[in-house]
Amino acid sequence: MNMIFILFAVLLGGALLTFFSNKVSGLLRDIFFLLTVLAAGVFFYLFIKKGDTVSFSLAGLNLQWGLNAFGWYFSLIVLGLSTLAAFYALAYMRGKERLGYFYFNFLVSILSMLGILMSRDLVSFFVFWEIMTWSSYFIVIYNGKNVQRNGINYIIFSTIGAYAMLTAIVLVYTNTDSLIISDMITSYPQFTPVLQIFVPILFLMAFSVKAAMMPLHVWAPDAYSNSPMAYSSVFSGALSKMGIYGMIIVFVTMISYLPDSTWFKEIFAWLGAITAIMGTLWAVSQDDARKLLAYSSIAQLGYIITGVAIGTELAMLSALFLAVLHGLFKGALFMAVGAIERQTGTVNFTEVTGLIRKMPWTFIASLLAIIALAGIPPLGGFVGKWMLYESLINSNHYILVIAIFFASTAAFLYCYKFLFGFFLGQEEKEWEHVKEAPALMVVPMMILAIGTVVLGTFPGIILKPADIAMQSLGYAPTEGHLWSMSVLFNEWGDQVLLKPLVYAIAGIFLFFLILLTVKGWKTMRYVTTKDISSSGEVPLEDENLTFSINFFQPFMRAAGPVMKKRMITYYREFGKAIDILFDFTRRIYNGNGQTYAIYVMIFLVILLLLKNNLFG
């Protein structure tokens, strides 16, 4: 019995146990759930070595599972984030209904992600991919809020992608009578030119749906924002990375063997950049925190896609680094939103303000996560952004780097909006009662946030496995000439020594903070946010002067022209057109016996007329 089978057996069995123990008792269910996640993690890292594979045959198909360094790198994201999210979920989901359902799908989606990372053949890849789709779909519709729209959008797009992939798989299978991915890669250069173009495109369709790339992203905002926050962190942090995982494989192993792959890469890099820009702009215009984070996830994935598409060593390194980092900070942010949702009952910036003193830990976590998201030193986000820019500049993508830069500068707007909307602003009587979220929710997000801080100074921790993963894809080792534990180089040899910079920043900050604190300590007073200089007027207790409606209206006016029409409206119109067609076909069956008899006759007549063309 191979270890990999056992791992999957553990996960599946745990899922079923969790599901059925729900009937018995809530405590038992939680214990089973947690045990399963932990067991999977421990089992994975203890017993499954890189490079061990297992082959077996099912329904006459030769399938193969195994783990390589690349999958192992992504398993870091999956298992790390899911474990924390599992702890978080225990507190977040307490008192909600259908918990067995939720936990079951949670575990199954973890299983499917690990399966994707460990499947060495196309069929099981597809199988796990579909399992991931439906398990996440069942969680997306968990809340039951306008299920038909969000859920169906998500499932339709995922399935279109999946079927594109299925077509590609079938094509590959027919051309190389093998389903093993490595065989496909080796025989790719011998494909016919048409196939050489279409197979990657079909694969990339599937992956870019999951990676929420323009123009296939329209499912993402609703899906991310409607699933419970405990899962959204996994959903946007880890599950979307499966798309990136596939993309990287396709780009490295197929696209680069195309006769002229540059245009292909350019197109995808630009799609990524456009995704980043539009995602950012839409995120800025949101008032619902979940939607804001959803759009920002789209934007972040856009950066990663660009990095993948460029595909130089530095770009790939930055893409891998950003993938982990996005998992960290977006996980933390979704968790923070979940905490606020749980404590206040709303996630709307225009409703809840001034929580900083009520929920300090949540604030700190989301502050760190936001700084990482904005890519500001000394936190981890800067490292990823820096490598991305340098790779773009070094590989002569000058306009692209401007586009990316525009996106990440505009990201400051929604970053500030997030922090201001929830934590800053006037402190209201309405939210006096709000308490800090339970430790089970705070600790995971704090861990994630601290992770971003550590990576800001010592990116080598993640860059090392990333480097190994890239070597397993056939890149040259990059340690030393592109990065070391806390130093970054670009391909021109310019460097950023993170450690002294971070120390300097900390030193200066502390010095002036101490100066500000010590000077006039006795006569320094805290005054409430109601005691503000508003032209002599005293705001009443119940009137909230916080400015939070149409927060970035002027900027939105400036950026208006590009945001006139949303992508989804085009899809809607297409859908309407198709619906008319359906309605027309429905009318063929008009429920009238005579008509049906006439149909029979017509059929017969047609056959008789065409008998020489049809048969012979």
Which residue stretch of 38-46, 86-94, 381-389, 453-461 sits at the interface with other proteins (rule: CB under 8 A)? 381-389
Contact residue for other proteins among 547, 563, 572, 573 (CB under 8 A): 547
Least Å distance, CB 505 to other proteins, is 6
Q: Which two tokens stand for residue 354?
A: 């001034």
Q: 83 to each of 42, 76, 110, 448, how far by Cα in Å?
A: 11, 11, 10, 11
The CA-based angle 514-520-525, given to 5 degrees, is 100
Q: 184 to each of 181, 221, 287, how far by Cα in Å?
A: 5, 34, 46
Indicate the residue among 50 and 98 with the shorter CB distance to other proteins.
98
The CA-based angle 506-507-508, given to 5 degrees, is 95
Which residue stretch of 77-85, 339-347, 385-393, 443-451 sits at the interface with other proteins (rule: CB under 8 A)? 385-393
Do 121 and 179 form a contact (C-beta atoms < 8 A)? yes
Q: Which residue has the tokens 């008319």?
A: 580
Contact residue for other proteins among 96, 566, 572, 611 (CB under 8 A): 611
Query: Footprint of other proteins on residues 141-200 (CB under 8 A)?
Result: 141, 144, 147-148, 151-152, 155-156, 159-160, 163, 166-167, 170-171, 173-174
Residue type, 369: A
Counting residues that bind other proteins (by CB under 8 A) gives 128
Query: Footprint of other proteins on residues 410-429 (CB under 8 A)?
Result: 410, 412-413, 415-416, 419-420, 424-427
Indicate the residue among 439 and 604 with the shorter CB distance to other proteins.
604
Contact residue for other proteins among 3, 393, 443, 450 (CB under 8 A): 393
Least Å distance, CB 250 to other proteins, is 20
Do 249 and 217 form a contact (C-beta atoms < 8 A)? no
Distance, in Å, from the CA atom of 404 to the CA atom of 390, rounded to the nearest integer, reads: 12
Residue type, 564: K
Least Å distance, CB 444 to other proteins, is 24
Least Å distance, CB 577 to other proteins, is 13
Which residue stretch of 42-50, 267-275, 447-455, 606-614 sits at the interface with other proteins (rule: CB under 8 A)? 606-614
Indicate the residue among 147 and 267 with the shorter CB distance to other proteins.
147
538 interacts with other proteins by CB under 8 A: yes
Indicate the residue among 55 and 595 with the shorter CB distance to other proteins.
595
Q: Which two tokens stand for residue 520?
A: 């006039």
Contact residue for other proteins among 528, 543, 563, 566 (CB under 8 A): 528
Distance, in Å, from the CA atom of 490 to the CA atom of 307, rounded to the nearest integer, reads: 14
Contact residue for other proteins among 505, 566, 569, 572 (CB under 8 A): 505
Q: 377 to each of 336, 384, 459, 584, how far by Cα in Å?
A: 22, 11, 12, 60
Query: Footprint of other proteins on residues 193-232 (CB under 8 A)?
Result: none
Contact residue for other proteins among 25, 55, 187, 517 (CB under 8 A): 517
Indicate the residue among 168 and 437 with the shorter CB distance to other proteins.
168
Contact residue for other proteins among 3, 54, 127, 201 (CB under 8 A): 127
**For residue 455, which of 246, 447, 154, 559 has the smallest C-alpha distance?**
447
Cis peptide leading into 200, omega within 30 of 0? no
Q: Which residue has the tokens 């959803």?
A: 294
Query: Footprint of other proteins on residues 276-305 (CB under 8 A)?
Result: none
Q: Which two tokens stand for residue 207?
A: 């992956």
Query: Footprint of other proteins on residues 327-356 (CB under 8 A)?
Result: 354, 356
527 interacts with other proteins by CB under 8 A: yes
Query: Footprint of other proteins on residues 567-596 (CB under 8 A)?
Result: 581-583, 585-586, 588-589, 591, 593, 595-596
Do 548 and 350 form a contact (C-beta atoms < 8 A)? yes
Burial label for 438, CB within 10 Å (0-12, 13-18, 19+), is middle
Contact residue for other proteins among 497, 562, 569, 574 (CB under 8 A): 497
Do 333 and 362 form a contact (C-beta atoms < 8 A)? no
Least Å distance, CB 17 to other proteins, is 17
Contact residue for other proteins among 1, 27, 46, 396 (CB under 8 A): 396
Query: Footprint of other proteins on residues 47-66 (CB under 8 A)?
Result: 58-60
Helix or strand holding residue 520 (H, E): none
Do 466 and 384 form a contact (C-beta atoms < 8 A)? no
For 295-300, the CB contacts below 8 A with 24+ separation are 295/221, 295/414, 296/330, 296/373, 296/411, 296/414, 297/212, 297/220, 297/224, 297/236, 297/240, 297/326, 297/330, 298/212, 298/217, 298/220, 298/221, 299/275, 299/407, 299/411, 300/276, 300/326, 300/330, 300/373
375 interacts with other proteins by CB under 8 A: yes
30 interacts with other proteins by CB under 8 A: no
Indicate the residue among 83 and 208 with the shorter CB distance to other proteins.
208
545 interacts with other proteins by CB under 8 A: yes
Least Å distance, CB 312 to other proteins, is 15
Contact residue for other proteins among 43, 406, 431, 475 (CB under 8 A): 406
Do 353 and 422 form a contact (C-beta atoms < 8 A)? yes
Least Å distance, CB 111 to other proteins, is 11
Contact residue for other proteins among 536, 542, 549, 564 (CB under 8 A): 536
Least Å distance, CB 523 to other proteins, is 4
Which residue stretch of 240-248, 368-376, 469-477, 563-571 sits at the interface with other proteins (rule: CB under 8 A)? 368-376
| Other C-beta atoms lying within 10 Å of the C-beta of residue 31 | 15
Indicate the residue among 128 and 251 with the shorter CB distance to other proteins.
128
Look at strands 487-489 and 483-484 and give their pairing: antiparallel
Which residue stretch of 87-95, 127-135, 219-227, 263-271 sits at the interface with other proteins (rule: CB under 8 A)? 127-135
Contacts of 294 (CB under 8 A, 6+ apart): 220, 221, 222, 223, 224, 225, 232, 236, 283
Least Å distance, CB 75 to other proteins, is 21
Distance, in Å, from the CA atom of 237 to the CA atom of 325, rounded to the nearest integer, reads: 9
549 interacts with other proteins by CB under 8 A: no
